[in-house]
Structure 1
Amino acid sequence: MAEKSKSVLIPVVAAAVFAGLGRMVLQKIKADRAARSSNVAAPLDDKTRAWISEVVRTPRQ
């Protein structure tokens, strides 16, 4: 019987994929924490709400 070749490619690719996913998760967590600590989404006044509604409802040409 022939010996099975021990391919290194599949484990290396799998490690790269998991490392990339882990990095994306960490970036998402950091972004969520930064967004939570800064009050970017402040309450809107009536004039701004009316303007946003008008822009959203107006059909584009």
Structure 2
Amino acid sequence: MAEKPKSVVLSVVAVAVFAGLGRMVLQKIQADRAAKATKVAGPLDEKTRAWISDVVRTPRK
């Protein structure tokens, strides 16, 4: 009679962990590409900072 493996749980958990990590890496890569394509985040020059500050601080009528 062939020996049965004692537990398959360890291999199932390992596969689940690696699949989850792979999915997170793919999501991070996609998010980075999307942010780079839309240029959402970027350095602001002083003129832009002053304009934003003025718009935020000026009360609306």
Bin of the TM-score, shorter chain as denominator length = 0.5 to 0.7
Number of positions where the alignment pairs a residue of Structure 1 with one of Structure 2: 48
In the other structure, the counterpart of 1:16 is: 16
In the other structure, the counterpart of 1:38 is: 38
45 and 5 in structure 1: CA distance in 2 versus 1, 3 angstrom threshold: closer
Query: Mean Cα displacement is larger for which, 19-28 or 34-43?
Result: 34-43
Query: TM-score when scaled to structure 2?
Result: 0.62
Moved over 4 A (4+): none
If asked which structure has higher relative contact order (CA below 8 Å, sep 6+), I would say 2
9 and 42 in structure 1: CA distance in 2 versus 1, 3 angstrom threshold: closer
RMSD between aligned residues: 2.3
Identity across matched positions, percent: 69
Q: How does 1:46-57 map to 2 (within 5 A)?
A: 46-47=46-47, 48=49
Q: 1:42 deviation in Å?
A: 4.2
* Stretches of structure 1 lacking an aligned partner (at least 5 in a row): 52-61
* Stretches of structure 2 lacking an aligned partner (at least 5 in a row): 54-61
